[in-house]
């Protein structure tokens, strides 16, 4: 990111008031470890010295035999143990973040279950509008980022 398309965005960094980093899900899907994701995040963090840096927890990665209509027919992804470690680090502020938004708890059946709530995804990786609306309706962004508004 820092040497590819992100390099163009970095030219605008002087105008940023805050940075919100939401990477990780694709890294987990590519079998990267929690330690690698933390290192990558800290590398990105270093690109924005002096800027408040926020993270979001990572929702589940799973597969389903019924199109994610029910939790019972889902299987957690192989990377769930790494996702749990990444999310724990994010919650502790170990990614250089000064705050975070807890989206995983809203999207999965229980903390660290690795199972999506009914119909919150169609591919097991990305939330659909229903899940995003649930995050918004939960008020988590408003509570987590109230001091910015």
> What pLDDT is stored for residue 23 in this prediction?
86
> What pLDDT is stored for residue 70 in this prediction?
95
Secondary structure of residue 34 in the 3-state scheme: helix
Mean pLDDT split into 10-residue runs, the chain, 149 residues? 70 88 89 94 90 93 96 96 96 87 95 96 94 90 69
Task: Write out the two tokens for 135.
Answer: 């995050």
> What pLDDT is stored for residue 11 in this prediction?
85
Question: Residue 6 burial by CB count (10 A; 0-12/13-18/19+): exposed, middle or buried?
Answer: exposed
pTM above 0.85, yes or no: yes
d(CA 106, CA 136) in angstroms, rounded, equals 10
Q: Are the C-beta atoms of 44 and 79 separated by less than 8 Å?
A: no
CA angle (110, 131, 71) in 5-degree steps: 45
């Amino acid at each position: 990111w820092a040497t590819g398309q992100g390099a163009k965005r970095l030219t605008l960094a002087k105008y940023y008031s805050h940075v919100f980093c939401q990477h990780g899900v694709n890294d987990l899907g590519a079998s990267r470890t929690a330690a690698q994701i933390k290192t990558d995040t800290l590398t990105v963090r270093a690109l924005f010295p002096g800027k408040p840096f926020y993270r979001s927890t990572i929702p589940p990665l799973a597969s389903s035999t019924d199109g994610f209509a029910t939790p019972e027919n889902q299987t957690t992804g192989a990377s769930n143990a790494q996702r749990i470690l990444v999310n724990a680090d994010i919650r502790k502020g170990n990614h250089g973040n000064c705050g975070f938004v807890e989206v995983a708890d809203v999207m999965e059946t229980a903390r660290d279950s690795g199972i999506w709530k009914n119909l919150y995804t169609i591919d097991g990786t990305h939330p659909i509008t229903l899940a995003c609306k649930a995050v918004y309706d939960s008020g988590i962004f408003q509570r987590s980022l109230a001091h910015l508004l």
